[in-house]
Structure 1
Amino acid sequence: MPAAARPAAWLVLFAAMVVLGLNMGVRQTFGLFLEPMTAALDISRGTFSLAIAVQNLLWGVLQPVCGALADRYGSGRIMAVGGVLYAIGLAVMALVQTPLGLHLGAGLLVGIAVSASGFPLVLSAVARAAPEDKRSAWLGLASAGGSMGQFVLLPGAQGLIAGLGWVDALLVLGLLSALIVPLAAALAGKAHTGAGSIGEQSLKEAMGEAGRHPGFLLLTAGFFVCGFHVSFVATHLPAYISATGLAAFVGATALSLIGFFNIIGGLSAGWLGGRFRKKRVLTYIYLGRAAAIVLLLVLPKTAITVYAFSAVFGLLWLGTVPLTSGLVGQIFGPRYMATLFGFVMFSHQIGAFFGAWLGGISYDVTGSYQIVWLIAVLLGLAAAALHWPIADAPVGRLARQAKGA
């Protein structure tokens, strides 16, 4: 990358970190609203969880669409639309105080918004702007922005709920999410305009190439587990902690600690991904998640053990994102990274649907989250097994282009 372009590249990285901070931080606060909203609206946890599950599913279904639109029309425009819908969705969630309002706001509108301003679009913009030898580290830095948002907004949201009530807390979060709109301007551009652009290939050819690649299929299947883990923990950990008799602030602090330690974990994952095979790092992340959940289940439930779990799980939280997106770019190149990672993200969000929904159903039926925790352990082991054999060498097309360059 030319030296003169570096300031613009750093601006892209900064904007990416803030956009992901708002995108991920705001939606990670929804678990704090479960208890006050179910009490105020007189609905079950299963109903609340279904709205969050629909949000996650829509996020996944629309991710390839948003990625393709960004590849065609530019990521900035799509993200700006996402920022507008995010603010409207939170306002509907706050002001239309019925199950319909919950599903329309938290489910439909926020689901579309998160997809339009989420990881694939933001990270593809970072991948285009980053110096090639620092791409993995920059993806880790951008992903860490999502964790910083979680770390800052979770205790802030808990304070807003306690001080203003859940309605005004949602409205304040809606105003914050609207900041995505102006920040999207710094992330404008199309996939072929940045650094690292490679030859010509149609979208149809890129999708066919990925669909025939066993490594892409394994990566997609493994990312289902990440979505299940993250959505279940983000939605139900505060309620699970409250059910043990611990104070509500312990649950909010636990999620905030996950966000803080994920800053370290995201940066570390980006660094490790630049020095070791990404698929190996992913394998150990999923094994670590399974071990952390087992320890949470068997150890006495105290604030200290909860915070220790949060620290460990935070280190492993979204470090999967720069590694997984980095593998997509490494294997297939950056040209259609937003679209291809969008398909991988779809699998992630199917997992997120089941993680959020099954948590609520399990509690309504059994009065406990135990079954879903055990499922999460088994899925962690399965994901580790799926990632180990991934063929992570660049496809032949990239090798031929490199020789011809």
Structure 2
Amino acid sequence: MTDRKLSLTTVLVCGGLLVTLSMGIRHGFGLFNLPITQAHGWNRETFAFALALQNLMWGASQPIAGALADKFGPVRIMLVGVALYVAGLVVMAMATSGTAFASGAGLMIGIAQSGTTYSVVYGVIGRVASAEKRIWAMGIAAAAGSFGQFLMIPVEQSLISFVGWQNALFTMAVMACFMLPLVFALREPKVAAATGGHHQTIAEATREAFGNRNFQLLTLGYFVCGFQVVFIGVHLTPYLKDRGFADPKIATVALALIGLFNVFGTYTAGAMGQRMPKRYLLSFIYLARSFVIAGYLLLPLTAASTWVFAALMGLLWLSTVPLTNGIIAQVFGVKYLSMLSGVVFFSHQIGSFLGAWLGGFLFDRTGSYDLVWFIAIGLGVMAALVNLPIREQALVRPQPVAV
């Protein structure tokens, strides 16, 4: 098994399908907000907290999952992730209390995401793809996750409509099992997993990254990405209902459009990141998000304006992912790419936690989402500014002195 070569095509196909399922299933959780809270008599903060906890646990466990994948290979980490994903969906369906629901939707699926999404898959891509194709390949994988979001939204809405929200979750647990054969296809030969150039321990790599200004700025900007996308993903459906749009089709189409246009946005970002400074592209994305959100709030709210908003946000949705991970690989190398990507992603997920939870918290206390929308706009401007000073040159490390 040590001489088996893992091809880039295999990684892109199997890794892309893995991310498609993992990201696609969770992208539709916002559709369950009203059915579940109404069925159990919960307030929106209960549901929002569970998904906020999911994002926080995903972020907290991602550096650990990444470090283990970098050291021992990704397969074991991915298998644990799939098992937790299936179990978490079952617990979500059977929970009768907010605490039980949070343990499934928040704790279990949150940890599961760390082993079945971008950071671990990107670690494999970074080791298999050449430097000339690396950002492009990451864009392909991100686009696959985006397609999953587009694909699963109508599937999950149809399941909720025809079999009910509980059976929909059971069905999704069965669908999550299809990730298993994809995991085994991503097994790396030991030679590939052990490569890395300059000898460096995990602790040394972590200290180096945390002491690097580029890493600090990248981490700060990624916080904003998480806040914006998760707030919209979780709260757009109830926001529209509160504004008089009771037809769930409007929100379903909007979330599907985000996923569809996200395919084009992430692929384009990956392709452009091979030719242009990635920091400028990141600054543009964050600033453009703020303009799009502001325009959505200022213009009359209609189904058409919501769908245009969704399409524009989709172009900007996860286009930050290949660019952010590309900068990490370019500056620090690929040996500990999964782990370092996981550290930056933790910041993203702290933002995600606040975006999900704060939306429900402030709504329950003010009766409106307006304040959270304004926070999202201001954070976008801040993120655009902090990405501009980032330098993308590879670190020059001292070579060990021969004795």
- Please give the range of the TM-score, normalised by the shorter of the 2 chains: over 0.9
* Structure 2 partner of 1:172: 171
- Which is worse superposed, 351-360 or 115-124? 115-124
* Structure 1 partner of 2:61: 62
* Structure 1 partner of 2:197: 198
Residues of 2 paired with 1:223 and 1:191: CA distance? 32
Structure 2 residue runs of 5 or longer lacking an equivalent are: none
- Quickly say closer, same or farther: Cα 1:383–1:314, change in 2 above 3 A: same
Give me the identity figure in percent: 43
Residues of 2 paired with 1:116 and 1:195: CA distance? 19
Residues of 2 paired with 1:309 and 1:131: CA distance? 36
Query: How far apart are 1:119 and its partner, in Å?
Result: 1.2
* Structure 1 partner of 2:18: 19
Residues of 2 paired with 1:377 and 1:96: CA distance? 35
* Structure 2 partner of 1:78: 77
Alignment of 1:110-149 (within 5 A): 110-149=109-148
Residues of 2 paired with 1:378 and 1:317: CA distance? 17
Residues of 1 paired with 2:25 and 2:190: CA distance? 27
Contact 1:128-1:195 within 8 A present in 2 as well: no
Alignment of 1:386-401 (within 5 A): 386-397=386-397
Following TM superposition, the consecutive aligned residue runs of length 4 or more in structure 1 with deviations greater than 3 angstroms are 194-197
Contact 1:25-1:154 within 8 A present in 2 as well: yes
Matched, 1:303 2:303: yes
Residues of 2 paired with 1:50 and 1:68: CA distance? 28
Contact 1:210-1:216 within 8 A present in 2 as well: yes
Query: How far apart are 1:269 and its partner, in Å?
Result: 0.3
Query: How far apart are 1:315 and its partner, in Å?
Result: 0.2
Residues of 1 paired with 2:195 and 2:373: CA distance? 42
Contact 1:124-1:337 within 8 A present in 2 as well: yes
Matched, 1:363 2:357: no
Residues of 1 paired with 2:64 and 2:191: CA distance? 18
Query: How far apart are 1:98 and its partner, in Å?
Result: 2.2
* Structure 1 partner of 2:349: 349
Residues of 1 paired with 2:282 and 2:76: CA distance? 32
User: What do residues 284-315 of structure 1 show as CA deviations (whole Å, max 9, x unaligned)?
Assistant: 00000000000110111111100100110000
- Quickly say closer, same or farther: Cα 1:77–1:46, change in 2 above 3 A: same
After TM superposition, the score normalised by the length of structure 1 is 0.95
SS of the aligned residue for 2:146 comes to helix
Matched, 1:255 2:255: yes
Letter in 2 for 1:172: T
* Structure 2 partner of 1:240: 239
Residues of 1 paired with 2:397 and 2:195: CA distance? 15
Count of residues paired in the alignment: 396
* Structure 2 partner of 1:207: 206
Query: How far apart are 1:196 and its partner, in Å?
Result: 7.7
After TM superposition, the score normalised by the length of structure 2 is 0.95
Residues of 2 paired with 1:205 and 1:100: CA distance? 39
Contact 2:5-2:189 within 8 A present in 1 as well: no
Contact 2:20-2:144 within 8 A present in 1 as well: yes
Residues of 2 paired with 1:188 and 1:357: CA distance? 37
Residues of 2 paired with 1:185 and 1:233: CA distance? 34
Residues of 2 paired with 1:163 and 1:191: CA distance? 47
User: What do residues 18-52 of structure 1 show as CA deviations (whole Å, max 9, x unaligned)?
Assistant: 11111111111110000000000110000110111
Query: How far apart are 1:60 and its partner, in Å?
Result: 0.7
User: What do residues 313-335 of structure 1 show as CA deviations (whole Å, max 9, x unaligned)?
Assistant: 00000010000000000000000
Contact 1:265-1:314 within 8 A present in 2 as well: yes
Letter in 1 for 2:294: V
- Quickly say closer, same or farther: Cα 1:141–1:372, change in 2 above 3 A: same
Matched, 1:223 2:222: yes
SS of the aligned residue for 1:97 comes to coil
Residues of 2 paired with 1:222 and 1:284: CA distance? 12
- Quickly say closer, same or farther: Cα 1:263–1:196, change in 2 above 3 A: farther
* Structure 2 partner of 1:87: 86
Alignment of 1:321-340 (within 5 A): 321-340=321-340
Residues of 1 paired with 2:268 and 2:220: CA distance? 24
* Structure 2 partner of 1:378: 378
Query: How far apart are 1:190 and its partner, in Å?
Result: 7.5
Residues of 2 paired with 1:174 and 1:289: CA distance? 33
Contact 1:70-1:190 within 8 A present in 2 as well: no
